[in-house]
Structure 1
Amino acid sequence: MKLILLSITSLLFSASVVAQGNLHHQSSQYEWPTDPQVKEKLESWRDQKFGMIIHWGVYAVPGMIESWALCSEDWITRDSTSDYGEFKKWYWGLSKQFNPVKFSPDQWASAADAAGMKYLVFTTKHHDGFAMFDTKQSDYSIAKGPFASNPKADVAKYVFEAFRNKGMMIGAYFSKPDWHSENYWWPMYATPNRNNNYDIRKFPWRWEAFKKYTHNQIDELMSNYGKVDILWLDGGWVRPLETVNEEVRSWGAAIPEWSQDIDMATIARNARAKQPGLLVVDRTVHGPYENYQTPEQRIPATKLDHPWESCITLGAAWGYVPNEKYKSTSQVVHTLVEIVAKGGSLLLGVGPTAEGLLQEEAIARLKEIGQWLNKNGKAIYGTRTMDHYAEGDLFFTKAKDGSASYAIQLIKGEEIPATISWTTNLPGKAGIRELQTGKKLKYKVLGNQVTVELPASLRKELGTTPALALVF
């Protein structure tokens, strides 16, 4: 059975690439926070622009899609001869094999720092319920299995410390649904989809027990792991029924007749009592507890004036899979530039191996991204949008204090063009400089069109680059 299960993980992974696009649609509604400390933290977060999200759990052992293989929905592909009950036993049993003896949070944090990243979102618990922290609410955690005797068994503590030591904002990803909990997926019933599998109206005591369990785990994270800046809550189908409008129904996920209300008001209030100003990101659930929005594996079609981030993988998967194919440096830089010009941040996903290390190819790619940001970061960090934010492959940003504007030309081929032209955003008396070298450039303005000359000597000096930034 185990060999059969392992042989289908590639099918499960390929299904996830398609399905993930259907999981986290984004609400068109946004509500600005009113708490002054939250507003201040949110403004600081909007300056960061580039972060790392790390998915790591028992799914790293076979190198398969995170958690979703447990879910019985029509996009999940399994071997037709497999037994679902046996599959769940096998998956839950991966916790007995997960012993990441090479776990190196310093390696992860150094790679993120070299990439120019400014904040972290770490998966403390995914939908499968396996806690990557020392929870007292369950024995299903990294600190209770074969890794328990390791000095770094309380994994989240050491991950947060390593990234905090690099000066980064700290985010705790936490899944509201927990498929391992008998108060979410009650063994009395089958598990047909991602939702809880019993009628909460008939068994309110069971849901209350699940709420208490969830609140207690979040309280542990907010109490025992130092300063936390972001509580990043996944699993937007766990939500009050009154928030399920026609837009949400159009997303296509199964919606039960009862309310999966987890009491976000209490969660936010208690969490902020311990972490003042905490950003709460209740993904896809519009309202006061979604302090910024999180479109997944895509970039919005146009700029948005409220806070948001695109969470996008460096490879094709969120977690570790063998033989991963990573996006090119140019592709990531181009993605970052477009996102920032449209007012967002890029949260780039990587997955450590079951041993606890990032793959060397991922580290190399992150370093290359950081080399570009090290030279051109002023056009990215701490910037805000311009009304005229894009023109073809040319994107515009401006310093938050209005002291400078930037034009960032994406380079799609090997050669930097001899001229760059745009309309509307006209230069001031200071003229135009190439950001990396600081060299002043000649330009002409005819009507509302600017044409900038890039001399051959400058193009040679810059060499091959994913994008070229001008400041004016």
Structure 2
Amino acid sequence: MKKLLTLLTGISLSLIVNGQNNLVSKEQTFIHETSKEYEWPTDPSVLEKIEKWQDAKLGIMFHWGIYSVPGIAESWALCSEDRWFTDRRREARPETTYCEFKKWYWGLSESFKPSRFEPTEWATFMKKVGFRYLIFTTKHHDGFCMFDSKYTDYTVTKGPYKKGKYSNITYHVFEAFRKSDFMVGAYFSKPDWHNENYWDPFFATPTRNPNYDLKKYPEKWAKYQEYTANQIDELMSDYGRIDILWLDGGWVRKPQQDIKLDEIVHNARKKQPGLITVDRTIPGRNENYQTPEQTIPQEQQNFPWESCITFSNTWGWNPNPKYKTSEWVINTLAEVVAKGGCLLLNVGPDGEGNIDDIVYQRLEKVGEWLHKNGTAIYDTRTTPNYHFGNIWFTANKNGKTLYAIYALPENEKLPAYIEWEGNIPTGKITLLQNGKQMKYTCRNGKTRITLPKGIKEESLVFRFNKAQ
């Protein structure tokens, strides 16, 4: 059975989270538009894996590549059409021409030697925090492969790190995170600007698209189709269990840039049964969940989706980051889950393979909160009355137990009482922070909880049964 949902009102996206935090910065690239339609998969194994993914709620994403060496924007400085990244290119290499810059950028592969990279440390810490799925950039638009591809020499395994302890980086990342019980996802860029059959070096590169006429040179495009299929097949064949194929570069689509994705996905699922495919921004059979970028939908959604949001002000590492707070992560997670989505939080390691200390410090606080309050997040589902002020509601799978998550605004103290309309409780209300029962009253459709003294100043979660 195939359902097609046309989203007329609910899919409008806000660039402001909780009315305060602008999620877009000048350092970042354009924001992908979100699909206006969703088509449910029909394969039972895919539906089963989507439900497992929806239980996970919180994912970690790593943007990591040669751009991490100098700490510049990933790939986009190569593209002439983006004004922001023309400016960033001038900041990085002010004395170079565009051709000189491209040569310098692609030459960063000779400097990428992450001698301090320890994938098990990443996985162990992220599991401790409470992340439950991983999306890792196996290849960004610049074409540099973080895996051992036999179809190009532009890979980490053929550079200065080829004899490194974890030279096939993607393999070791996936292995470490699988051993820590993560669902594993491979980010893969459909466009490859380094490949001569996408950007032919004979021609100029004015846009993100192929720089030649595909109709005039069909044999070149056929070679690119084959190249893309072969690389995805490598990832599906040689890297263990893959749960998610996360495809970026939404301008590569039918009919102008057909890479025969239906065939690629069909072959991938022969090797990875139930594989979730995320063909971003392209509604249809291969976009198994939607990915609003740097945004959260304004309303609750009744199909699978994920907000992918940077923890700092850029996707990749930069030397002067502006990190979001622990409280921001907690409150954003509550909002996303109450609206029916998952939160994919992005972190950028540096060129050595380090993750900034402040990332560990702030995410550790998120982990402490989830350790006490995670039952309001994991394995939950939406409830119709999901929002009142800065209180977000989730429900267990049978819908009988509700959770009210009071998202404490940053730099504010807890009030004397918390009040909401609807979702009238019956029986006791328990504060998950300490497991104690709360005193409350219900009058005229409103529930008021009086907060006791001495509780920790943080976002609070209350568990209760909903009155029938």
TM-score, structure 2 length as denominator? Answer: 0.91
1:52–1:348: 8 Å Cα contact kept in structure 2?
yes
How far the C-alpha of 1:199 sits from its partner, in A, is 1.3
Could you say which residue in structure 2 is the equivalent of 1:24? Answer: 32
CA–CA distance in structure 1, aligned partners of residues 191 and 25 of structure 2: 21
Match of 1:316, SS state, is: coil
Match of 1:22, SS state, is: coil
- For residues 296-338 of structure 1, give each alpha carbon's deviation from its aligned partner in whole angstroms, at most 9, with x where no partner exists: 1111111111100100111111111112121111111111111
1:299–1:310: 8 Å Cα contact kept in structure 2?
yes
CA–CA distance in structure 2, aligned partners of residues 399 and 74 of structure 1: 45
Provide the aligned C-alpha RMSD in A. 1.3
Which of 39, 50, 68 is the equivalent residue of 1:42?
50
- For residues 418-452 of structure 1, give each alpha carbon's deviation from its aligned partner in whole angstroms, at most 9, with x where no partner exists: 21111111112x32111222211121111211111
CA–CA distance in structure 2, aligned partners of residues 239 and 20 of structure 1: 23
Which of 451, 468, 472 is the equivalent residue of 2:460?
468
Could you say which residue in structure 2 is the equivalent of 1:422? Answer: 420
Could you say which residue in structure 2 is the equivalent of 1:365? Answer: 362
Aligned length: 434
How far the C-alpha of 1:201 sits from its partner, in A, is 1.2
**Is 1:289 paired with 2:282?**
no
Match of 2:289, SS state, is: coil
CA–CA distance in structure 1, aligned partners of residues 146 and 330 of structure 2: 31
Gaps of 5+ in 1: 1-15, 242-258
Match of 1:464, SS state, is: coil
2:27–2:73: 8 Å Cα contact kept in structure 1?
no
Could you say which residue in structure 2 is the equivalent of 1:408? Answer: 405
Q: Which stretch of structure 1 is more off in the superposition, 363-372 or 76-85?
A: 76-85
Do the aligned partners of residues 317 and 187 (structure 1) sit closer, same or farther apart at CA in structure 2, a change above 3 Å counting? same
1:419–1:454: 8 Å Cα contact kept in structure 2?
yes
CA–CA distance in structure 2, aligned partners of residues 235 and 445 of structure 1: 51
Match of 1:89, SS state, is: helix
CA–CA distance in structure 1, aligned partners of residues 301 and 283 of structure 2: 15
* Partner AA of 1:278 in structure 2: L
- For residues 52-109 of structure 1, give each alpha carbon's deviation from its aligned partner in whole angstroms, at most 9, with x where no partner exists: 0001100011011001000011422243753111101001100011111111111211
CA–CA distance in structure 2, aligned partners of residues 181 and 17 of structure 1: 30
Gaps of 5+ in 2: 1-23
* Partner AA of 1:419 in structure 2: Y
How far the C-alpha of 1:19 sits from its partner, in A, is 7.3
- For residues 376-412 of structure 1, give each alpha carbon's deviation from its aligned partner in whole angstroms, at most 9, with x where no partner exists: 0000001111111111111100011224100000112
Q: Which stretch of structure 1 is more off in the superposition, 445-454 or 347-356?
A: 445-454
Which of 68, 75, 79 is the equivalent residue of 1:71?
79
Could you say which residue in structure 2 is the equivalent of 1:204? Answer: 218
Match of 2:425, SS state, is: coil
Could you say which residue in structure 2 is the equivalent of 1:140? Answer: 154
Which of 329, 335, 354 is the equivalent residue of 1:338?
335
1:46–1:307: 8 Å Cα contact kept in structure 2?
yes
How far the C-alpha of 1:414 sits from its partner, in A, is 3.9
Counterparts of 1:186-265 in structure 2 under 5 Å? 186-241=200-255, 259-265=256-262
CA–CA distance in structure 1, aligned partners of residues 365 and 234 of structure 2: 37
* Partner AA of 2:73 in structure 1: I
* Partner AA of 1:143 in structure 2: T
1:391–1:422: 8 Å Cα contact kept in structure 2?
yes
* Partner AA of 2:457 in structure 1: T
Percent of aligned pairs with the same amino acid: 53
Could you say which residue in structure 2 is the equivalent of 1:7? Answer: none
Q: Which stretch of structure 1 is more off in the superposition, 443-452 or 264-273?
A: 443-452
1:312–1:347: 8 Å Cα contact kept in structure 2?
yes
1:114–1:366: 8 Å Cα contact kept in structure 2?
no
Match of 2:441, SS state, is: strand
Could you say which residue in structure 2 is the equivalent of 1:88? Answer: 102
Which of 78, 100, 106 is the equivalent residue of 2:114?
100
CA–CA distance in structure 1, aligned partners of residues 211 and 277 of structure 2: 27
- For residues 274-294 of structure 1, give each alpha carbon's deviation from its aligned partner in whole angstroms, at most 9, with x where no partner exists: 000000000000101000000
How far the C-alpha of 1:27 sits from its partner, in A, is 1.0
Which of 119, 123, 126 is the equivalent residue of 1:109?
123
CA–CA distance in structure 2, aligned partners of residues 49 and 178 of structure 1: 31
Match of 1:431, SS state, is: strand
Could you say which residue in structure 1 is the equivalent of 2:173? Answer: 159
CA–CA distance in structure 2, aligned partners of residues 332 and 273 of structure 1: 37
CA–CA distance in structure 1, aligned partners of residues 31 and 302 of structure 2: 24
Which of 195, 206, 211 is the equivalent residue of 1:181?
195
How far the C-alpha of 1:21 sits from its partner, in A, is 6.4
Q: Which runs of 4+ in 1 moved over 6 A?
A: none
Match of 1:375, SS state, is: helix
How far the C-alpha of 1:187 sits from its partner, in A, is 1.3
